[in-house]
Structure formats: C-alpha cells, structure tokens
C-alpha cells in the first residue's frame, strides 16, 4: 500500500458539497467512484482536509488515499483526470508517508470570498461570485477586521448545526483586494468552523453597509451566540483556496 496526497480543484456549482450523502452527487462520491473503478471494484476511501458545502468551490482542496497499484507517481494525475468529470480536476498527485492525514495534519487554510460590486447582472459570474449592488464603506470594514484577528472562541460565527465542541480558532489575517468590480476577501487561519467564513463575510457586509458598527464585533464575539451575528453570505462566492501543512 502507498499513500498519495492530491491537490484537487472543483467547481462546486453542481455538487451537493464535498461529503458523501445518500443519493447526492458529492465530490467525495465522484472521487471514490473513480478510484474504485481504477481498483477493479475494490472500494477506495478518500479523506479530505475538510468538507465544503453545496455550491462552495475549491481551488486547492487536499485529499489522501491509499492504493496498492504500481502506477508511477506522474501517471496518476493523467489517469485520474481522464476518468473524472470536467468540473472536478486533480492538480497534483504525490507519494506521501503512511501517517499523513489530509485533515489532521493540516495546520492552516486559506479561503477567499468573491464579492461582485455591481448593480448589473453578469451571466458569467452568477455561480462564481456574490453580486452585491449596494454601497460599502470600506473604511468601516477595515476598522472592523482587527477585532476578528487572533485567537477567539468563534461560537458566534459558527453554524448552530455543527457537532464540533472546541470553537476556539486563530484567524491569522483577513486581507481585502479589489480587482475591477470584484472585491476579494482572503482569510487565513489555523482552522475554520462550519460556515465561519460565510458568517464573517456576512457581518463585514453589515458593517460596510452601516447596519453595524465596527466595534460591535467585540460584543458579538463575546456573546458566543450564533444569533448575534448576521446572515450567512451565499455559497457561490466562497473558495477553499489552499491548505497548509508543516
């Protein structure tokens, strides 16, 4: 048996998220089906760095799997891509040690959220960015960010549906860049709770639109109550961009 680490990318639009669910098209299901086919029907299990929700995209998701096949490292990528559907691609495959785990060994992640600031519809961006036609006070957003950085209990920024108990995470940075009409939020942290990035984007938009003050974020964090934060920003703007390992 050899363990392989892969970087994969997917357009989340037509997937019901990453994780296997009964009678849904998920990324894990498609990957395991293809690997099982390559292994002549012997089931192959795939482990990822974490789940992504329906409609959420990935530019650099990381998975691992074990295989007894003697395929040269550089042929795996071609073999897998030849069987995978067009909305899911393997970007790299490398041999790794038997104890590597895509989820438990991850030391950090980068997510990006794409917000299209326009009142005009764009058919080409409908699945790849969240259209936001209102004015945003960028100074207020930049003033709010420092309240979120560092190590906090992010209970207020986590879906109540989570099963995770420890909600303490460290948010290393939130950077904002502007590219034409696209506002891009980059979040880097040691880990993210369920819906955390989308709830953070939601609250930053409420600050930017004047519905909240930047300093409200302090109280929201301290409340440790999901109901204190605002709406969850839509899935289609979110990309799992990169997973970091030691």
**Which residues are marked as active site?**
53
The answer to whether residues 230 and 202 touch, using CB atoms and an 8 Å cutoff, is yes
Contacts of 41 (CB under 8 A, 6+ apart): none
Does position 126 bind a copy of itself by CB under 8 A?
A: yes
9-28 footprint of a copy of itself as x/- string (CB under 8 A): xxx-----------------
Q: Among candidates 105, 102, 107, 109, which has minimal Cα distance to 47?
A: 102
- Of 114 and 194, nearer to a copy of itself (C-beta) is 114
Does 163 bind a copy of itself (CB under 8 A)? Our answer is no
Task: Check residue 91 for interaction with a copy of itself (CB under 8 A).
Answer: yes
123 binds a copy of itself (CB under 8 A): yes
Phi first, then psi: what are they for 221, rounded to 5°?
Answer: -60, -45
E strand or H helix at 244: strand 238-245
Binding string to a copy of itself for residues 70 to 89, with x set by CB under 8 A, is what?
-----------x----xxxx
Closer Cβ to a copy of itself, 66 or 87, answer by number: 87
The two tokens of residue 21 are 């669910």
Residues 79, 93 contacting (CB under 8 angstroms):
no
Q: Give yes or no for residue 122 binding a copy of itself (CB under 8 A).
A: yes
Tell whether residue 4 is among the known ligand binding residues: no
What minimum distance in Å lies between the beta carbon of 122 and a copy of itself?
A: 7
- Please tell me the count of residues contacting a copy of itself according to CB under 8 A: 17
Among 107, 189, 115, 197, which residue's Cα sits nearest to residue 158? Answer: 197
What distance in Å separates the CA atoms of residue 174 and residue 188, rounded to the nearest whole number? 7
**Which of 57, 64, 169, 212 touches a copy of itself by CB under 8 A?**
57
* Closest C-alpha to 243, from 76, 61, 118: 61
Which residues contact a copy of itself by CB under 8 A? 9-11, 57, 81, 86-89, 91, 120-124, 126, 128
């Amino acid at each position: 048996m050899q363990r392989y680490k892969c970087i994969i990318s997917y357009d989340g639009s037509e997937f019901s998220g990453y994780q296997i669910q009964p009678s849904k098209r998920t990324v894990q299901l498609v990957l395991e089906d293809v690997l099982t086919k390559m292994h002549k029907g012997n089931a192959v299990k795939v482990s990822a760095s974490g789940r992504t929700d329906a409609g959420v995209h990935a530019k650099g998701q990381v998975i691992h799997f074990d295989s007894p096949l003697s395929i040269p490292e550089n042929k795996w990528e071609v073999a897998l891509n030849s069987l995978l559907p067009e909305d899911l691609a393997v970007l790299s495959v490398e041999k790794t040690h038997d104890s590597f785990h895509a989820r438990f060994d991850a030391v950090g992640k980068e997510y990006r959220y794409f917000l299209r600031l326009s009142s005009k519809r764009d058919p080409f961006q409908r699945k790849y960015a969240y259209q936001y036609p209102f004015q945003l006070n960028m100074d207020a957003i930049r003033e709010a960010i420092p309240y979120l950085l560092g190590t906090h209990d992010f209970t207020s920024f986590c879906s109540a549906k989570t099963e995770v108990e420890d909600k303490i995470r460290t948010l290393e940075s939130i950077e904002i860049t502007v590219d034409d009409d696209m506002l891009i939020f980059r979040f880097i942290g040691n880990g993210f709770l369920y819906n955390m990035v989308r709830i953070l984007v939601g609250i930053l938009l409420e600050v930017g639109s004047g519905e909240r003050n930047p300093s409200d974020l302090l109280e929201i964090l301290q409340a440790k109550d999901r109901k204190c934060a605002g709406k969850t920003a839509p899935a289609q703007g979110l990309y799992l961009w990169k997973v970091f390992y030691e």
